[in-house]
A and B are shown apart, each in its own frame.
Chain A
Amino acid sequence: MKNDYILEMKNITKDFPGVRALDNVNIKVKRGEIHALCGENGAGKSTLMKVLSGVIPDGGYDGEIFFDGELCAFKNIKQSERLGIGIIHQELALIQELSIAENIFLANEIVKRGVIAWDEANQRTQSLLRKVGLDETPGELIKDLSVGKQQLVEIAKALSKDIKLLILDEPTSSLNEEDSQNLLKLIVDLKEKQGVTSIIISHKLSELEQIGDSLTVLRDGKTVDYLDMKQEVVNEDRIIKSMVGREITNLYPKRNAKIGETLFEVKNWSAVHPLYDRKIVDNASFHVKAGEVVGFAGLMGAGRTEFLRSVFGKSYGRNAEGELYIKGKPVAIKNVEQAIKHGLAYATEDRKTYGLILISSIKNNVSLASLDKVLTRGILDEDKEVVDTEKQVKALKLKYSNINQDTLNLSGGNQQKVVLSKWMYSDPDILILDEPTRGIDVGAKYEIYTIINQLAEMGKAVIVISSEMPEVIGLSDRVYVMDKGRIKGQIGKESVSQEAIMKMILSKKVEVLENDELKTKAL
């Protein structure tokens, strides 16, 4: 008789130089269920999945893996794939310039007498796309698809290999609400209709709660909890408690900031896409006061990042025009250098591409935007630089061993702290934080929220862009809602809710500034 469990990993231990990433981890996944795996960054989730999929080959770890009741020793990914284990990584592994069909059968081509049988490949691609709910044609290029659809193509690719166990690492981290729901529905469909078992790793606990059948929690490389979500009611608080090992009563800490006068105001701002003649920001106006946290809500592609980057020294798009006022005085800001001099800071949503120099040290990253502070008579004083930057990162409780270590090996939350340290060191009055908690765990999120509060309490103006509605709502004194490059309106703390935001996104009205008066006009 076959085992009830499709997968059992027993006493998995994995050492990296200096750290034990996994310490006797046990995990059991039942056939035909959706198993949720959660834990803070650095808890060992990704390492565990690397062991399972053969990225870390047999011999590189201690412990046993039973798949379908049989002891397995994978030497590489191919071997685990052959048994039916498919893994979809957080960073999509699709080639942008190739078509959907070419991607799906990449390194797995259907070859007849030495020639690729494209007709059959396209046909099979078509039916796979149907299965994941896409009505694209197999010949379309990946780069023309939205991120949400690309994610579905990844799943189709996994399905092309007759998988029994699908592993999804943070599948929804870069998707908007609607695409996320589609994806989750698909995972449930695959389970119910085709009996595919899934392991899903996510920081979005509400999603795990929604679709998970059982759940394993890792902390510091150890299994700390196993919950059967059919047997007992499991809510987010319960999961958070075992993830961080303590209870976080209120994820959004209280703030005692005195809201002062208007620090920063943008009037009638417009900008054009860098490549196409399309307006990415259309006549947008907003203001933010000292000590105030203002949120920018909207769907993916609403133009929030584009808008604020264009305001921040015109670092995105072309033909940016509009008026900027700092403390009531009009200012002209042509480039990022001037923006920083005027007390602006912009912490990007994409740490790795736009925020950090990964091959460079913590010290050099933190000081980069404010090198003038460590110059004495035009010469860099590296000793002062060390003292200053260490003070800065210690204030944010960065976990690091040496200020000269590269930022590459820091965890997501700690990388984010380095980015924040950089901008706090430049001592700005106005901070723009773009998705400040993307891809980081609950504990680190809480710390980032605390930092945001401290900034507001210091009398700075904070602008937060976030696609996680609870975050925007929990943090902001006021929320601006953006859609298709326009500001649809604003909602005060008293009346803000997910429904109110969605309603505003969908509404046919837009808020514009005319003769210095805010007016709501029909689109």
Chain B
Amino acid sequence: MTNLKQKLFNNRLFRFLKENEKTALLGRLLKENIRQYGMFMALVIIMVFFYIMTNGVSVRPLNINNIILQNAHIIVLAVGMLFVIVTGNIDLSVGSVAAFVGAMAAIFMRRLGIPWQVATMMALGIGILAGMWNGFWIAFIKIPAFIVTLGGMLIFRGLTLLVLGGQTIGPLSGGFNRISSGFLPDIFSGNGTNLHLLTLLAGLIASVLVIYSTYAKRKNRRKYNFEVLPVWIAVLVTTLILIGINLFTFTLASHRGLPNVSIILFIVIIIYVFISKKTKIGRHMYAIGGNKHAAELSGVNTRKTLFLAYTNMGMLAAISGIIYAARLNAATPKAGELFELDAIGSVFIGGASMSGGIGTVLGAVIGALVMGVINNGMSLLGLGIDWQQVVKGLVLLMAVWFDIATKNKR
């Protein structure tokens, strides 16, 4: 009898210890990603703060919409900038490139009468060429990126002024304008509810994808006999994510649904998270930023990789410029000013390292959102651009300080 009790006890002890081991994994994951989770928590806290201060105005569907629209172009730039910074470089020309691309798109549509779909593609091509221009000087001629892109900043700003003749061109084509200001069509409309059903459906599809990927990841880790998080933690985390997604889509569905630009953002983020984590070229970019010599001697083609990073940056700058011009429904000579600094700031708030090799796409996106939410919240509170700049500057400083402080402890 006592023997059996002992056995039972041992069994329970064993299970307890095993369970503990798994929570230890959670602790380690938290510790390893403290920067990202920290910034995410900061974002949530900032949102709650403004929610309270504005009596809930900040989370009304209209305002959520505004936050997305006002920051989409910076988020896209930040994603591209992340890769540039991860390789240990910088791009100061993105604001000017975005302006130039917007200007060219306007000229194609208004002056040359090219259909907006074709004009958009051509504008995208111009962005890619601008990126290749920067990439060529940096990767092949080996001129420091700071110099090349400072030059690019002036060159493309000058070209923008030149092609626009100092004038604003607008309004642009309606179809082009809808890239930013349009919403997903409500194909299920007229069914008696005020909710935008396609938006809700999008939320559900995203939920299914999240569940599937979590499951697939666990299965793969099991296959290799790695430790996995205890089921209850995995379920809890997934549930929180699902609630977040569906709360977001439900809020928007009660207004006009998902804006078109959110779909662009979603696709851009998914693609680049994938590139950074799951592809050879992504790994090579991190390697170059971590130690260029070691990467080279390990067979990484540093010139090709750098060239690609800048070409890609040019393309994303073009997308950013198109989104911005579409939102304004006009191309102006002043478009894109200081975009580069917002993008660079977002990347550093998101935990990237100045010297390269460290940083994540999601971090950069969160960094851009932190800045965007602060801007928006302060506007709602009636604080002007003056205070917004001061606070943004302090946030950047604090974020990097937090970074250094947690790194030293490790």
Contact = CB atoms under 8 A, between A and B. Distances in A.
A387 B299 CA distance: 22
B285 to A, nearest CB: 12
Task: Pick from B223, B293, B299 the residue with the most CB of A within 10 Å.
Answer: B299
Nearest to B288: A357
A375 B286 CA distance: 17
Contacts of A422: 298
A359 B279 CA distance: 19
A384 interface: yes
Contacts of A313: 299
Contact of B300 (A348, A354, A368): A368
Contacts of B290: 357-360
A339 B299 contact: yes
B297 interface: yes
Interface string B270-300: 0000000111100110110011011111111
B168 to A, nearest CB: 45
A382 B226 CA distance: 12
- Of the listed residues B32, B284, B291, B296, the one surrounded by the most CB atoms of chain A closer than 10 A to its CB is B291
B377 interface: no
Contacts of B295: 357, 368
Interface in A370-400: 371-372, 375, 378-380, 382-384, 386-387
A430 B378 CA distance: 64
Contact of B32 (A354, A369, A378, A404): A404
Contact of B278 (A315, A358, A380): A380
Interface residues of B, number: 29
A378 B280 CA distance: 8
Interface string A393-424: 00000000010100000000000000000100
A315 B283 contact: no
Given A383-B220, A387-B224, A354 B283 contact: no
Contacts of B301: 335, 337
A357 B287 contact: yes
A356 interface: yes
Interface string A40-62: 00000000000000000000000
B357 interface: yes
Interface in A144-164: none
A336 B297 CA distance: 6
B18 interface: no
A140 to B, nearest CB: 28
A346 B294 CA distance: 11
A230 B166 CA distance: 88
A313 B302 CA distance: 14
A386 B295 CA distance: 20
B221 interface: yes
B358 interface: yes
Given A354-B294, A369-B299, A383 B224 contact: yes
Given A335-B301, A368-B283, A375-B280, A315 B296 contact: yes
A242 to B, nearest CB: 34
A378 B279 contact: yes
B278 A357 contact: no
A122 B26 CA distance: 61
B296 A380 contact: no
Contacts of B296: 315, 336
B293 A353 contact: yes
Contacts of A315: 296-297
Nearest to B221: A383
Interface string B297-330: 1111100000000000000000000000000000
Given A356-B291, A383-B220, A346 B280 contact: no
A211 B279 CA distance: 55
Interface in A113-132: none
Interface string B326-369: 00000000000000000000000000010001100000000000
A368 B223 contact: no
A354 B226 contact: no
A364 B283 contact: yes
Nearest to A336: B299
A355 interface: yes
A479 interface: no
Interface residues of A, number: 35
Contact of A346 (B223, B287, B297): B297
A402 B224 CA distance: 16
Interface in B194-235: 220-221, 223-224, 226
A152 B55 CA distance: 71
Contact of A383 (B226, B297, B300): B226
Given A340-B299, A369-B299, A356 B283 contact: no
Interface string B254-278: 0000000000000000000000011
A422 B224 CA distance: 21
A7 B297 CA distance: 46
Contacts of B226: 383, 386
Given A357-B290, A357-B294, A379 B299 contact: no
A337 B299 contact: yes
A305 B220 CA distance: 43
Contacts of B298: 336, 340, 368-369, 422
A466 to B, nearest CB: 19
Interface string B170-181: 000000000000
A46 B286 CA distance: 32
Contacts of A404: 32
Between B223, B294, B357, the greatest number of chain A beta carbons within 10 A of the residue's beta carbon is seen for: B294
Interface string A341-359: 0000010100001111111
Contacts of A360: 286-287, 290-291, 357
Contacts of A369: 298-299
Contacts of A379: 278-279
A153 B287 CA distance: 36
A313 B301 CA distance: 12
Nearest to B222: A383
B277 A380 contact: yes
Contact of A359 (B284, B299, B358): B358
A315 B292 CA distance: 13
Nearest to A357: B290
A386 to B, nearest CB: 7
A359 B221 CA distance: 25
A519 B283 CA distance: 48
Given A348-B297, A353-B293, A359-B357, A383 B283 contact: no
A391 B278 CA distance: 21
Nearest to A368: B298
B391 to A, nearest CB: 31
Contacts of A312: 297
Contact of B283 (A339, A358, A380): A380
Quick one: which of A357, A382, A404, A422 has the most chain B CB within 10 A? Answer: A357
Contacts of A346: 297
Contact of A357 (B221, B224, B357): B357
Contacts of B284: 371
Interface string A303-341: 000000000110100000000000000000001110110
27 contacts: A312-B297, A313-B299, A315-B297, A335-B299, A336-B298, A336-B300, A337-B300, A353-B294, A356-B294, A357-B287, A357-B294, A358-B290, A359-B358, A360-B287, A360-B357, A368-B283, A368-B287, A368-B295, A369-B299, A371-B283, A371-B284, A372-B280, A378-B279, A379-B278, A386-B226, A402-B28, A422-B298
Given A369-B299, A379-B279, A383-B224, 5 more contacts: A315-B296, A357-B291, A360-B286, A372-B280, A386-B226
10 nearest A-B residue pairs (beta carbon): A357-B290, A369-B298, A337-B299, A357-B291, A368-B298, A340-B299, A336-B299, A354-B293, A383-B224, A360-B290
